[in-house]
Structure 1
Amino acid sequence: MSELTRKKTTLDSAATNALVHLESSDKNRDVLEALSRMIERAELGIGDRLPPEVDIAKKLNVGRSKVREALIAWQNMGIVTRNKKAGTRLAAEVSSKDIHLPVTLKLEAESLLRTHAVRRPLEIEAVRVAARNVTTQQSRVILARVAELMAAYEAGEDWRAADHRFHRAIHEASGNPLFEQLIRQIQEGFNAIYETPFGQPHLGLETIPLHPDLARAITERDGESAAEIMTKIMDMVEDDVREIMEGQNV
């Protein structure tokens, strides 16, 4: 056995032995939390291979399909790469060192920042294009959606669904269906695991009062003002995530 092969075998064995049996779970998030702890305990780094899906499933006491779904979600967030020949390998660091935050929360924050970085330019350009292309009927819909959003916000209710409908109306007003498709795909990659980031379903709450100004800028066809407001909204969400990563707002 070559030295390289021996090293790979040792890493695979260490990683598999670091997995902890899950008593009962049907959630992708539970599988990924177990994998996060495994990676840290086995000291796996970028480029190292994770154990085969069948070994992970057996050790965790979950179905292989559940392991596959969880790893695909990680692939969508840039945490691992998957290849039939090379297996599943780490593409991002999974470690809690140098930060006062559990590894699972750190990984969640980093994943959200990665998706946010890709979504940011799309959202900013979408509002700029929407302001240029919005029709009278679409303006009415946008204003109705923001009124619905503010009503939920001011009543202290769950405003997330109304927020999604508001932004979807903006994407539709852009006249380019790719905005909605790409942004939805980016968000779904994250939400497949983290439906409520950090256990805080209202992450970004402080941005909601800016939404009426955004709606007004778009319906008044002021693309630059709309882009500035959207930039501020995205900045505020990113700041919230970074505060959580620094352990100030968990």
Structure 2
Amino acid sequence: MNETPPSPDTSEAQLSALPPLGRSRQIMDALARYIEQRNLQPGDRLPPERDLTAALKVGRSSIREAVSQLSALGIVEARIGSGTYLLRKISADTVYMPLSVSADGLAEALLMTLEVRRGIEIEASIAAARRRTDEDILRMRDALEEMERTHHREGGSGKADFAFHMSIYDAAHNPLFRQLLEQMRDILDRFWERPFDRNDFAARSFPYHRTLFDAICAGDAEAAAEETRKILDVVEEDIRNMRP
């Protein structure tokens, strides 16, 4: 196992500055090309964060977000004090294949997504109720309280809602839930972008997030599934009622 990055070679792959839009996806693609062209193997270390920042001309937060997404996909592992290591070989064609839908308008796209989201979120809630640890409960509580603060302050909860659901995925202790979410990121993000320009989109589901959390904490898988269904039922009703 190599403990240092491959030495620079101008005849091989190089990293170059990226344009300003879609940074996270571009960083992932750039790293995938670099890994493929350098023929890095599982166990090899990627260039350090400061080198990636300088080479790609992006901020550290963008690098960290991309590495976090690659980590969620099981491609790399960030080890504190050591660096980021490749777990499995990838190429620019396999690193991230975003799912897409073809639909007549936002409402139809959201309804399609919701059908898939129902199965994933209900199963994740059931698994979380069965497997959550004390540490998971603390993380879910922190995410829920931030969501509640955001909701009371802004009328909606946006990314804080997303973070709470992510904490449930993590409490399920099945990495495929998070990997599936990463594959659907481009679509699911539309649930947290003020659909139909309404701050109150799915606001009626707000109380059920607390009852969902309580069910998971109690280890009640059946109740966790039911509370998740209530949340998703509200989302579906609002999609149908708010669409033009």
Global fold match (TM > 0.5): yes
Aligned equivalent of 2:141 = 143
Residue identity matched to 1:114: M
Task: Indicate yes or no: 2:178 matched with 1:155.
Answer: no
How far the C-alpha of 1:194 sits from its partner, in A, is 8.8
How far the C-alpha of 1:200 sits from its partner, in A, is 2.3
How many aligned positions are there?
150
Alignment match of 1:78 (pick from 101, 121, 141): 101
Does the CA-based 8 Å contact 2:110-2:191 persist in structure 1?
A: no
Residues 138-197 of structure 1 deviation map (CA, whole Å, 9 limit, x = unaligned): 111111211221122223355212211111111000001211221343242354799332
Does the CA-based 8 Å contact 2:155-2:199 persist in structure 1?
A: no
Residue identity matched to 1:241: I
Does the CA-based 8 Å contact 1:77-1:190 persist in structure 2?
A: no
1:120–1:184 CA distance, 2 compared to 1 (3 A): farther
How far the C-alpha of 1:217 sits from its partner, in A, is 0.6
Distance in 2, Cα, partners of 1:193 & 1:176: 23
Does the CA-based 8 Å contact 1:145-1:165 persist in structure 2?
A: yes
1:204–1:135 CA distance, 2 compared to 1 (3 A): same
Tell me the secondary structure at the aligned position of residue 225 of structure 1.
helix
Does the CA-based 8 Å contact 2:156-2:203 persist in structure 1?
A: no
RMSD value over aligned CA atoms? 2.7
Aligned equivalent of 1:127 = 125
Structure 1's unaligned 5+ residue stretches are: 1-26, 28-74, 80-91, 95-106
1:76–1:226 CA distance, 2 compared to 1 (3 A): same
Runs ≥4 in structure 1, deviation > 4 angstroms? none
Does the CA-based 8 Å contact 1:77-1:114 persist in structure 2?
A: no
1:138–1:76 CA distance, 2 compared to 1 (3 A): closer
Aligned equivalent of 1:65 = none
Q: TM-score, normalised by structure 1?
A: 0.54
> Relative to total residues, which structure has the larger helix share, 1 or 2?
1
Residues 32-69 of structure 1 deviation map (CA, whole Å, 9 limit, x = unaligned): xxxxxxxxxxxxxxxxxxxxxxxxxxxxxxxxxxxxxx
Alignment match of 1:111 (pick from 104, 109, 112): 109
Tell me the secondary structure at the aligned position of residue 155 of structure 1.
helix
How far the C-alpha of 1:124 sits from its partner, in A, is 0.4
Q: TM-score, normalised by structure 2?
A: 0.55
Residue identity matched to 2:171: A
Tell me the secondary structure at the aligned position of residue 154 of structure 2.
coil
